Structure 1
Amino acid sequence: MLVTAEPQKAPTDGVTGTENHSLGGITFKLANAQEGTRNDVLHWCVCRAAEMTPRKQKSALRAIRHEARMIGLDDQEIEKTVSSVFGGRRG
């Protein structure tokens, strides 16, 4: 009889979330977002930050905000997205 083991989840340190959601990967995804998808990608990135430990969220959101500005989103768009993810409380 063949017994298969359950796949193990990658370890997390509160910043990476999972092996596919490192902060570098998150900001890379945002940096490469195509026009017309930038707000949706920003939302996805902020959601990944929301999954991090509170201590790591601050630096993650700072990096995400910076990258969002670099791709041409304005502060109002960015803060509206952050507020939508964090339920009105500032992330």
Structure 2
Amino acid sequence: MLSNVVVAMDCVEGTQGSLVSIGGYGGCGACAEWHGYYSTAGRLEQYSFDNNQRSFGSKGSRDELIKAYGVTKRQLMSESPAVKRIVYGQP
């Protein structure tokens, strides 16, 4: 069984800095979707599980992330046209 599967990666550019966005789901198929935002230096800024809204990281909420990096809520909620989707084949 896979533990965490990455399905999308993107760069989110704000007025005060850029973030690397990585999203995926738990590999068991019943686990939650997750989404992480990392600084360009690789530091975890905010990470959340979508189905139960738990989040953690140095910026504990999306509001703190918006304030710190100058990104918009729309940028965090919608994929940009530049997003890299990862498709896995059948083993």
- Is this a same-fold pair by TM over 0.5? no
Structure with more of its chain in strand, by fraction: 2
Decide which structure has the larger Cα Rg and report it.
1
